[in-house]
Amino acid sequence: MTSHALDHIVIVGGGTAGWMAAATLSNLMQGTKTKITLVESEEIGTVGVGEATIPPIIAFNDMLGIDEDEFVRETNATFKLGIEFVDWFEKGHSYIHPFGDFGADFDAIPFYQYWVRSSLAGRDDDLFSYSLMVEACRRQKFMRPVKDRPDSALAGINYAFQFDASLYAKFLRKHAEARGVERVEGKIVTVDQDADTGHVTTLTTDKAAELKGDFFVDCSGFRGLLIEQTLETGYEDWSSWLPCNRAVAVPCEKVGDPIPYTRATAREAGWQWRIPLQHRTGNGYVYCSDFLEDEAATETLLSNLDGAPIADPKILRFLTGHRKKFWNKNVLALGLAAGFMEPLESTSIHLVQTSLARLLTHFPDKRFDQTDIDAFNARTLREYQFVRDFLVLHYTATKRDDTPFWRHCKIIEPSADLKRRIAQWEGTGRIFEEPNDIFGTASWLAVLYGQGYRPQSYHPLIEKMPIKRIDGVLASIGKTIDAAADFMPAHQSFIDKNCKAVS
């Protein structure tokens, strides 16, 4: 039987997406005849941002066999237990979207249902105090989950990382090169296509290196060298939902110990991120250019840093949305080449990870079965839509109307799906997870509640439980979480003891 297995996979781009792809594929292709080459251009460089992540990255690193302490040390990383949203609902208000669950479910009904019932009965109680991750953030504590005591509150610790994006790419490069990925330095200047199929066949660099391949992974960043500039795939513009289209980014000196969470502070025409690393703090202001000039955004950012800037502010332009096809012919786009949504919930690196997982499911051979490609595209699109809706949720319920930008946000029309999810929560007090949605019940609960949406009802089956008993159980769960958060070590001490960066 003729083998149709791929001979040569060429990855274009050596940013986070490119090296994530190289590390994953080299792990997978070990022992096969398929060769993997990554071509990148130091002259073009990488986007240089993308420092906050969400918990599934732990599974990604695990899959690659990465030692977590070594990874934290080498990327100057800190641990992340959630995102604090400051001034989003209204000025002076803040809440934390934590990773991990609230409270503990009992009698087969989710915890939050009891909390809703109790609060509708008049108990004045902070939902967020039932999250161990929130309580740990408030106390600046961190430890990894305990594995040997599944019944302990400490078993439910859920975390991600805040790291230096360029160091993460370097870290993955070492991993991929050790597994046989060949790196070619150079700027691609010519892309050849097959005259009949339109498939990409050969890339030529400015150093005259010729790279013939049968499958190309386009990780070339916003430009989408193969997916757009060559194949003209087209772009779906989502700026009517998410109007921010610029960011100005600048790192600054760190002041004090790094906190175990990312902060997103709403500003005049967008929001500012603050990502604490071991050696510095990453900052940026994401804004909409219809409402704010670049100079004013830069000034606002520079006047809201907690340490001295250590580089020049860099302006980045983007259009929220995605390629009409993520996979077109023999080109798969990943990372910024595939699409972009603002980093409010740190989802971009995760979308690279899930796309790679999906690629493994629909892995092609030289025949490029169209049903596989279509399935990949449909599933990826659905995932992007879920992320988009979750981001829009942060903008829809704000009370803010103090600037033209926030008044504009009030007229954004949520998708039918998002409207349904909001109505379901408000009407029945219930949240249902959707397959393929990155964000589970606890995340939707945190942001729905944090943004001011209040439910009018709860699960009918808890009606029979006396309210006194519910209040008693809530109080006891609250105490357990308090004690668990007290028990955890300080975030900085945990780093010092286990994974302090050398510089």
Give the residue, chosen from 343, 414, 450, 455, that forms a contact with ligand FAD under the rule CB under 6 A: 343
Q: How far is the CB of 346 from ligand FAD (least distance, A)?
A: 4
Give the residue, chosen from 88, 271, 285, 318, that forms a contact with ligand FAD under the rule CB under 6 A: 318
Is 380 one of the binding residues for ligand FAD (CB under 6 A)?
no
Is 14 one of the binding residues for ligand FAD (CB under 6 A)?
yes
* Positions in 271-290 near ligand FAD (CB under 6 A): 284
- Three-state secondary-structure class, residue 127: helix
Is 98 one of the binding residues for ligand FAD (CB under 6 A)?
no
Please identify, among the stretches 88-96, 340-348, 355-363, 378-386, the one whose residues bind ligand FAD according to the rule CB under 6 A. 340-348
Is 37 one of the binding residues for ligand FAD (CB under 6 A)?
no
* Positions in 165-194 near ligand FAD (CB under 6 A): 165, 187-188
Q: How far is the CB of 370 from ligand FAD (least distance, A)?
A: 26
Which of 211/462 has CB closer to ligand FAD?
Answer: 211
Is 157 one of the binding residues for ligand FAD (CB under 6 A)?
no
Nearest-10 crossing angle of helices 16-29, 165-178:
20
First to last CA, the chain: 55
Is 220 one of the binding residues for ligand FAD (CB under 6 A)?
yes
Query: DSSP alpha helices (H): ranges in 2-155?
Result: 16-29, 57-63, 68-74, 111-120, 132-139
Q: How far is the CB of 47 from ligand FAD (least distance, A)?
A: 4
Give the residue, chosen from 51, 87, 101, 228, that forms a contact with ligand FAD under the rule CB under 6 A: 51
Give the residue, chosen from 226, 247, 447, 499, that forms a contact with ligand FAD under the rule CB under 6 A: 247
Is 123 one of the binding residues for ligand FAD (CB under 6 A)?
no
CA distance 175 to 25: 11
Which of 160/477 has CB closer to ligand FAD?
Answer: 160
Is 328 one of the binding residues for ligand FAD (CB under 6 A)?
no
Give the residue, chosen from 103, 335, 429, 450, that forms a contact with ligand FAD under the rule CB under 6 A: 335
């290196």: which residue's tokens? 209
Please identify, among the stretches 38-46, 112-120, 209-217, 355-363, the one whose residues bind ligand FAD according to the rule CB under 6 A. 38-46
Query: DSSP alpha helices (H): ranges in 262-399?
Result: 294-302, 348-361, 370-396
Is 18 one of the binding residues for ligand FAD (CB under 6 A)?
yes
CA distance 19 to 24: 8
Q: How far is the CB of 327 from ligand FAD (least distance, A)?
A: 15
Query: Residue 246: CB partners within 8 Å, gap ≥ 6?
Result: 286, 287, 288, 289, 294, 297, 315, 316, 317, 318
Is 23 one of the binding residues for ligand FAD (CB under 6 A)?
no
Is 243 one of the binding residues for ligand FAD (CB under 6 A)?
no
According to DSSP, residue 398 is labeled -
Nearest to 110 by CA among 438, 428, 454: 428
Query: Residue 462: CB partners within 8 Å, gap ≥ 6?
Result: 107, 109, 113, 114, 117, 470
The Cα-based distances of 321 to 65, 144, 266 in angstroms read 33, 35, 22
Give the residue, chosen from 46, 131, 158, 398, that forms a contact with ligand FAD under the rule CB under 6 A: 46
**Catalytic residue list contains 80:** yes
Q: Which DSSP string do the residues of 402-445 spell out, in sequence order?
A: SSHHHHHHHT----HHHHHHHHHHHHHS-----TT-SS-HHHHH
Measured at the CA of 283, the angle between CA 277 and CA 289, to 5 degrees, comes to 155
Give the residue, chosen from 49, 160, 409, 462, that forms a contact with ligand FAD under the rule CB under 6 A: 49
Query: Which of 33, 80, 91, 497 is labelled catalytic?
Result: 80
Q: How far is the CB of 391 from ligand FAD (least distance, A)?
A: 13
- Answer yes or no: are the C-beta atoms of 52 and 262 closer than 8 Å: yes
- How many Cα atoms sit within 13 Å of 481 on the Cβ side? 27
Nearest to 260 by CA among 55, 30, 480: 55
Query: DSSP alpha helices (H): ranges in 451-490?
Result: 467-487
- Answer yes or no: are the C-beta atoms of 164 and 77 closer than 8 Å: yes
Is 346 one of the binding residues for ligand FAD (CB under 6 A)?
yes
Which residues in this chain contact ligand FAD in the complex, by CB under 6 A? 12-18, 39-41, 44-47, 49-53, 165, 187-188, 219-221, 223, 225, 247, 249, 284, 316, 318, 335-337, 343, 346, 348-349
Active site residues: 80
